[in-house]
Amino acid sequence: MLKFSFSPWLRALLILGLATLGGYAYWAHSPLPERADIVPTQYLRLKRDFIEGARSQSGEINSFILNSTGPNGEQLTIDTLWIGEKTAEKIFLHISGTHGVEGYAGSAIQSALLQEKLVAPDNSAIVFLHALNPWGMAHKRRVNESNVDLNRNFIGDKSKFSGSPQGYRDAEWFLNPEGLPSRMDLFFPNAIFLIGRYGFATLKQAIAGGQYDFPHGIYYGGSRMESSNRFLKRFLLQNFSKVKTLIVVEVHTGLGEWGKDLLFWPLDAEHPKTLRLSKLIDEKLDSDDPRDGAGFKTPGDLQGEAPKLLPDTDIYWIVQEFGTYGPIATLRALINENAYQQSAERPDTSHWSKAELLEIFTPGNAEWQQMVLDRGIAIGRKVIKKLADPLWQGDPSPEG
């Protein structure tokens, strides 16, 4: 009997071909279709909707003003809403906008939840943090005004803001090309070469895991903690250091199957906290190991680093990620948009590279938008409903 085996190059071609058919083929249709408006993508409108919803609740609203401004000089803020007791021992925290252009979905979910009258159980609180990266939301970028990925930047030790994976260094010529982007380029043959050389999972981890040596490159983690993350650090320390149990849902988009969510969770499937959380919210949790699925490990990410600030708090930090067009389309959009941002004399939010980046992370398709909104609301409701459940109480775990 003949046995067939695939060389690394054939595997690379197969992976790229499947990814293209599954996602990137969309770009064969130009111009982009008209966008649905179930999930708005205008920062000021999203902020207005959130504030209006917050004012309808019995809670405390606060705003942190950033030094940076929007495309037309508009003021940018990170806004918070606290519903329930300030001395609560059990808290649900919902975060949107860590990655700018991904933040529209999380913001819409928050505003939708605020259309309901939210009441925290005794000794509990419900907290919303809206638009952690308002600059990225306003300027249609995934990163902030310093080209920093906030989810690679939450690092307390300044000496750790250095270094890059060897795979990123080897592929830097491909990831961060000089000059303005073109729709006609060598992205696909170059991608085939790199996937064939390193393997898809290894290359994915090397690229998306973050880097600290190329300030103008994609997935740059910065040289110091950025203002948004400094605010988050203060917010966590001031408000949650004496909390017994903190449940966090941080919304992202991009990874996974179209319109469906992954609930990324850092602990093993059989860990007691994993089993407890899965039982409480009646959901399957997903691994962030690049060998097991769509995820990847990142230094300086909120989920991994923020809990270290609160060693006496039992933390359940979920990253809810909604799938869009797949990793190949996402990478090409990130490369093109960053090349434009770094090369254009006066970057314009209406440029085609930004329109494609927006479509990649917040598709205009009405069905996708409704699926995301419905599912985001469902998870939020589940956590709120279960806040009073005594099963949350467990011994603080250094892993979690």
Residue spans per domain, the chain:
34-389
Cα 205 from Cα 212, distance rounded (Å) = 15
Give yes or no for a contact between 315 and 248, defined as CB atoms under 8 angstroms apart: yes
Per-residue pLDDT of the chain (400 residues; tens, 9 = 90+): 434 344 555 555 555 555 554 444 445 445 677 899 999 999 999 999 999 999 999 999 999 999 999 999 999 999 999 999 999 999 999 999 999 999 999 999 999 999 999 999 999 999 999 999 999 999 999 999 999 999 999 998 888 999 999 999 999 999 999 999 998 889 989 999 999 888 888 888 899 999 999 999 999 999 999 999 999 999 999 999 999 999 999 999 999 999 999 999 999 889 999 999 999 999 999 977 655 555 567 888 999 998 899 999 999 999 999 999 999 999 999 999 999 999 999 999 999 999 999 999 999 999 999 999 999 999 999 999 999 998 887 544 434 4
Cβ distance 154 to 232 under 8 Å?
A: yes
Q: At what angle do helices 200-208 and 166-175 cross, to 10 degrees?
A: 80
Residue ranges in the chain assigned as alpha helix (H): 8-22, 43-55, 103-113, 134-139, 166-175, 187-198, 200-208, 227-240, 272-281, 302-305, 327-343, 352-361, 366-385
Q: Are 232 and 300 in contact (CB under 8 A)?
A: no
Residue 96 has a pLDDT of 99
Cα Rg of the chain (Å, integer)? 21
Distances (CA, A) of 121 to 15, 116, 233: 48, 15, 26
CATH code for the part of the protein at 34-389:
3.40.630.10
Running DSSP on this structure, what letter comes out for residue 81? E
